[in-house]
Every structure is written in structure tokens, then in C-alpha cells.
Amino acid sequence: MTTPEPGPADPTPTDPVPTDPAPTEQRPHWATPIIRGWLVLAAVAVASGQQLFDNWRSGDGLPPVGALLIVAGIVVLVALIQGVIGYFQWRTTRFRIDEEEVRVDRNFIQHSSDRLALSKIQSVDVVQPLAARVFGLARLHIDIGGSKPKTIEYLTRADAYRFRDFLTTRAHAAGAAVPATGPASPGVLPTEQPGPAVASGSAWQDRRVDEETIVSVSSRQVVLGTFVSGGFLFSVLMIAVGIAVPIALDVEALSIPVVLGGLVSAGGVIARTLVKYWRFTLLRSSGGLKAVHGLTTLTTRTVPVRRVQGIVVSQPLMWRITGLYSVRMTVLGVAGADNDLDAATLLPMGSADQVRGAVAALWPGFDVSAVSTMTPIPMAGIPARARWLRWFDRQTFTQGMGDRVIVARRGLMRRVTAVVPHSRAQSVRLDQGPLQRRLRLATLSVHIPGGPVHLDCPHLDAGEARTLLLDEMDRCRAARAAELGENGAGSGGHGTGTVPSPGG
């Protein structure tokens, strides 16, 4: 297998090559307290104004001029308090980035010092909220895996890009123990020599001139994917019911909470999808892969290729009309809510060709379309007798095993294809319930760390399931040995343990 051919050569960079950050203690940008506090001020102003407006309209409060003066006074008071606290937080915060570590010291009321070794850094993200973009600022999210990301906020946009490129290049160089020759393995990006970091990011797009665009999701696809999603359509249905039913029953009071609930739900779907993934672009840089997206908040994520444990390609029912798919991944060390949002998204929505491009960039040499074309990964269904347990969707269950990955497909309403490299499987298990034993069936499960990817092969023939279990154990052992360069370590049969025979 070979790495896909690179795209057309980018134009010769003309921007000056940024230098490594000077290893001196620095403060965040002076406007940091303003960026942090503007949302609080806006919330106070809106809440106070709404309350006073309601009182005035009912005749119980002050006239409009007096109401405005009170709102202004409250906002000024909160601004002063927020400004004083923010100023001292800014004055007592220092950070230092050098060739060995990142150190962030905070000494306001409670003292804390975070020290992050460059060799432990997994990814570095740049986030630009709307208010920060107005001031030309951004914050850094530094992920070391297994714990909450550390944040440096706020820096000038140029400094944030420069620090990001420096840390990503150093972390990539520290983890370059993977051989640069030979076929690539899923989850391992071929080693490259980091090139010059030529910054050309802006408030609207973070892309260097030496980076290659792999996938770019159009605004049409984002809008289409949002408005035909199940969540948005359910919200529209709520609004329609909230309007139609009260009119039919002549109980108009019932329509207000239902319609408001539908509007809030629709707004949430739009914020989670359309606003978050607007102009989504997946790029290949000298330090790996990065994803750039966002309408109001521009986010640049580094995709931690070596920590990806598996992917899942899904297509909801309504997306079949549009031909869209989404690709999510389980990332080692990312748990809880983070593994359900940005960090787990490789492609929020895209065509079949875009899915192939994104997966090929993540795992060079692997063609996800092989899963559906039967070649080179043959896919098999489950026995006909499994209809007693899955009479309504038995025909949707298929599974297969290739040289590098194990694959499982399912889904009547929502089609899901889970793919896990043999080298990433932590354990393999065979389960048999009482009904399965009577029908001579068994379920094969491949375990990886928690996340959106779950690979189960349910209701297989018991004998076939046992054969697949032993085969997968051998493949996992051989794949891990090959990845670590341990010649011959994975050729020792099934090991010393015994596997109980299902249904025996």
C-alpha cells in the first residue's frame, strides 16, 4: 500500500518564516478581561432590560427613560466589578513556551502552575470566539491526553498561530518514532520532515500557504445537512403541532410553550451544526491533519492521528436523500462530552467521495469504499435463524475482516459502518445469551476505549464466531507487533489461554 499522491503543488510561500517563540515569561493580551467579560455584561443588560420593560408595560414600573438609566447603572456596576477582577487575573497570569515545556502560572487568589512537556502534547487547537475575532485575538487549547485540555487565553492571532505551529512541529518531531518507510498502518501517519511554518491565517480562515486541502464542505452541504437532520425536522414538527392543535381545539394558550420549545430546539440544532461546522475544511500540513470550521467562533483542531482508535461512518434516514454521510472517531484520552463533540468529528457531513478522502488522509492506503464493494474486504451476513431475534432488520447486519481492519455494518433507519484497526483493539469477547445458545448463535465484540465507535457483530453462527475470535486475536497481536517493529512477536499462535466453545 502506498500513500495517496499529493495534490497540486501550492504556490511558493512568500511570507517570512516565523521564528521559534522566545523562551521568556509573557502575559496574555491586555484585552483578555474584555473578551471574557462581554458575555456577562450582555446577559446582565438583556435580563435587566427585559424585567424592567415587562414592569413598565404592565404599568407597575418606571417610565422608559428611568428604566434605561437603571439598566445602564447595573451594567456599569457589573462592568466595574468584572473589570477589576479581570485586570488582576490578567496581571497575575504568566505563560512560558520553550524547547522543553509549556508552563502556565495563575496566581490570583488560588495559585496554580501547569507544566506540559512538549513530548506529551497530543494536539493544539486555536479557538477564535466572535468577540476575540473583533480584537484579532485567539486562545490556545493544548491537549496532553487523558485530562482536561490546558488553555492560554487570549493571544494575538499571529502569536496563537505561531505558538500552535511551533508546538505541533515539536510534538510531531518527538513522536516520529514510526518508521518512515514501508506500508502505512491505520492510525499511523507516515513520518514527514516538518517544513517551514508559513502563517497565512486570518479572522475567516486558518490556512497556511504550504498546506493541502483534503476536504472542503460547502455551505450548501452544511445547510442541507442541518435542515434535513432528524433533530431539526422534529423541531419543525413541534412548531407545527403547537400551532395546528390549539387552533383545532380552540385552546390557544397551549400553543405558546410548544412553539417556544420547538423554536429553542431548532435554534439548538442550528447552533450545534450549521454555525459550528460552517466552511468546514480538512487540511494536511507538515505536522499532520487539522480541521478548520465555524461561523461565529472559528475553531482550528489538530487531528491526533496516532490516537484514533476507530471510526464510524453513519447516514441517517433523511440524509439518504441528499447523499450525505458523517464520519466520527474514537480518540484515545478524550472522554465524556469532548468525545461526543468536536474532538470526535473527522467529517461532520460530506459526500461519499469526501468520506473516502477524509478516511484516506487519516489512514493512508485504506479505502473505506472497499467496505461496501465487497473487495478487498468480503462482508458476510448473519444466519437466517437469527430472524427470531432480529426479524425486522436481520438483513442489515454484515461484518468482515481484512488485513488491517475489522468492519461491522448495521442499521435500518440509520446506516452505521464501524471500522477498527487490528492494532487498536484492546480485547475481543464472545457472548451468548440463553436464546442465542438455543439458536446456536453468538455475538463477537471488539473493545476499544470509550467513544462514539462501538463494534459488535451480533448473532453470528456460533462456530463462525469462535473462528473469527481466534482469527482476530492473531491479527491484533501481529498488527501490534508489526507497528512496534517487533519481528516475529506476533506469530505465536493463539496464546496460552483457552477460549470456551460457545454452545458446546
pLDDT digits (tens, 9 = 90+) for 73-93: 877 888 888 888 888 988 899
Note whether 129 and 221 are same-domain residues: no
Contacts of 385 (CB under 8 A, 6+ apart): 439, 440, 441
Q: Is residue 499 in some structural domain?
A: no
Q: Are residues 163 and 234 in the same domain?
A: no
* Closest by Cα among 217, 413, 219, 218 to 319: 413
pLDDT at 438 over 50: yes
Q: Where are the beta strands (DSSP E) in 81-145?
A: 93-97, 101-106, 112-117, 123-128, 137-143
Three-state secondary structure string covering 312-369:
EEEECCCHHHHCCEEEEEEECCCCHHHHHCHHHEEEEEECHHHHHHHHHHHCCCCCCC
* Burial class of residue 496 (count of CB atoms within 10 Å of its CB; 0-12, 13-18, 19+): exposed
Mean pLDDT of 446-468: 93
What cell numbers appear for 121 in the block?
502534547
Distance CA 409, CA 380 (A): 10
Whether residue 20 lies inside any domain: the answer is no
pLDDT of residue 55: 67
| Residue 166: its H or E element | helix 157-174
CB distance 430 to 443 below 8 Å: yes
Residues 149 and 57 in one domain: yes
Q: Residue 387 corresponds to which cell in the numbers above?
A: 430472524
Q: Could you tell me which residue, 108 or 248, shows the higher pLDDT? A: 108
pLDDT at 101 > cutoff 90: no
Task: Tell which of 323, 340, 362 closes a domain.
Answer: 362
Report the percentage of the chain scoring pLDDT > 70. 76
CB 183 within 8 A of CB 189: no
Query: What is the pLDDT at residue 357?
Result: 93
Same domain as 68, residue 166: yes
| Residues 343, 231 share a domain | yes
Residue 16, in any domain of the structure = no
Q: What local confidence, expressed as pLDDT, does residue 453 receive?
A: 93
Question: 142, 172, 202: which is the final residue of a domain?
Answer: 172
Across the chain, mean pLDDT equals 79
The values of phi and psi at residue 418, to 5°, are: -100, 135
Q: Indicate whether 184 belongs to any domain.
A: no
Domain boundary among 315, 332, 362: 362
371-400 tens-digit pLDDT: 654 345 778 889 999 999 999 889 999 999
pLDDT at 405 over 80: yes
Residue 84 half-sphere exposure toward CB, CA atoms < 13 A = 5
pLDDT for the residue numbered 174? 55
Distance CA 266, CA 18 (A): 44
Residues 137-176 pLDDT 10s: 999 998 887 677 889 989 999 999 889 888 888 776 654 4
Say if 340 falls within a structural domain: yes
Instruction: Give me the domain span that covers residue 128.
Output: 25-172
Q: Is 18 part of a structural domain of the chain?
A: no
- Assigned domain for 10 exists: no
431 and 337 part of one domain: no
C-alpha cell at 82: 468584572
Q: Are residues 354 and 432 in the same domain?
A: no
CATH of residue 111? 2.30.29.30
The 10s digit of each residue's pLDDT in 250-270 is 766 666 777 788 888 888 888
**pTM of the complete model:** 0.78
Question: How many distinct structural domains can be found in the chain?
Answer: 3
The verdict on 144 and 29 lying in the same domain is yes
pLDDT score of 53? 67
In this prediction, residue 252 carries a pLDDT of: 64
503 lies in some domain: no
pLDDT at 502 over 50: no
Sheet of 405-410: strand order equals: 345-350, 325-331, 308-315, 415-421, 405-410, 398-401, 380-381
Claim to verify: residue 292 and residue 414 sit in the same structural domain:
no
275 with 258: CB under 8 angstroms? no
Cell representation of residue 393: 432488520
Q: Are 293 and 281 in contact (CB under 8 A)?
A: yes
Q: Is there a single domain that holds both residue 355 and residue 431?
A: no
Q: Which helix (H) or strand (E) holds 248?
A: helix 230-249
Return the C-alpha torsion angle 35, 41, 43, 44, nearest 10: 160
Same domain? For 337 and 379 the reply is: no
Q: What pLDDT, on the 0 to 100 scale, is given for residue 349?
A: 94
CB atoms within 10 A of CB 259: 17
Residues in the chain, total: 504
Residue 345 sits in the same domain as residue 379 = no
Residue type present at position 288: G
Q: What is the pLDDT of residue 49?
A: 67
Given a cut of 80, whether residue 446 has pLDDT beyond it is: yes
